[in-house]
Amino acid sequence: MGVTELGYVVFGVSDLAEWREFATSLLGLEAVMEPGEPNRLYLRSDYHHHRIVLEQDGRDDLSAAGLRVAGVEEFAAMQANLRAAGIHFEQGSPELIRQRRVLDLIILKDPADNPIEIFHGPLIQPHLPFHPGRRMHSHFLTGGGVGHMILRNAGLDAMYRFYRGLGMRGGVEYKIAAPGGNSAEVLFMHCNDRDHTVAFGPPGSKSVNHLMLEVTNIDDVFMTHDLMQASKYPVMISLGKHANDHMFSFYVQSPSGWLVEVGYGGRPATHQSEYYERDTYGHVFSAQMGPGMSIDK
């Protein structure tokens, strides 16, 4: 009855033209503009009309995390559950439903004020196979949704209760030594076979810390890494492998400041809790990384 995947993500950006170049020529995503929507860029990574929406509004932050439910019955049940839990939500306007290309959606905020949309029925376009923005060895892995995100945290108990209420499961998977003998805990939640769909660590100012996109061939991680190193966008966390989801990945700073993780080889979600104190190897923070800016390691 719960959410089934991170179906789409919407970001407000300052410079749509710069983002288009970053998303297509460097990340390999496909860009689509629709008639009558001059300030909105849709990014594709599979048969869905879009997996990422960019809107030129200067926010440089998350505008919506689109969490999918299976169908009309689950959509009604989710609203009943939210009402019973005293969680406020609003119905999506016909204009928003048209823009998002879904059958129906509701709008709400999580306890950290992160913007959430719960929807069912995305537009799938089997006649328009994914056309990468530049050469790729493989394609994006989207069976478990667009990817994962680390979102702003308002306390792990509150975040756990909210996302558990949406049907997700998970737990603390990292306890990282912090100054003063303390440790920083990071919570990971999953809703399908992807190891995690949302995660929460040390509080940040933006809703989004990073968005992870997974590819199906390790060569595409190295190719994207080469392209980023030759670009003006700094690699903020070096190539390495996470202890929890086994993802081999690196992190680059997007034109909006938050990070994009490109990864390969994530393992399916585990169904027993366990935790780690560090990553398997690599993932060295760049000198440009402020303390606490990333919490994946």
> Under rule CB under 5 A, which residues in 236-265 are in contact with Fe ion?
261
In the complex, the smallest distance separating the C-beta of residue 148 from Fe ion, rounded to whole angstroms, is 6
Q: How far is the CB of 46 from Fe ion (least distance, A)?
A: 19
In angstroms, what is the minimal distance from the CB of 149 to Fe ion? Answer: 8
Closer to Fe ion by Cβ: residue 106 or 175: 175
Q: How far is the CB of 147 from Fe ion (least distance, A)?
A: 8
Q: How far is the CB of 261 from Fe ion (least distance, A)?
A: 5
Q: How far is 190 from 195, CA to CA, in rounded Å?
A: 6
Write out the DSSP string of 12-36.
EES-HHHHHHIIIIIT--EEE--TT
Q: Cβ(269)–Cβ(195) under 8 Å?
A: yes
User: What is the C-alpha separation between 112 and 248, in angstroms, rounded?
Assistant: 29
Which of 41-49, 74-82, 204-212, 266-274 is the region at the interface with Fe ion (rule: CB under 5 A)?
204-212
CB atoms within 10 A of CB 108: 17
Give yes or no for residue 9 binding Fe ion (CB under 5 A): no
Q: Is the Cβ of residue 120 or residue 194 nearer to Fe ion in the bound state?
A: 194
Q: Is 156 exposed, middle or buried (0-12, 13-18, 19+ CB in 10 A)?
A: middle
108 vs 289, beta carbon nearer Fe ion: 289
Binding pattern to Fe ion, positions 126-165, x when CB under 5 A? ----------------------------------------
Element (H, E) at 74: helix 72-84
**Beta carbons of 209 and 198 less than 8 angstroms apart:** no
Which one among 69, 186, 212, 223 touches Fe ion, defined by CB under 5 A? 212
Which residues would be at the binding site for Fe ion (CB under 5 A)?
212, 261, 296
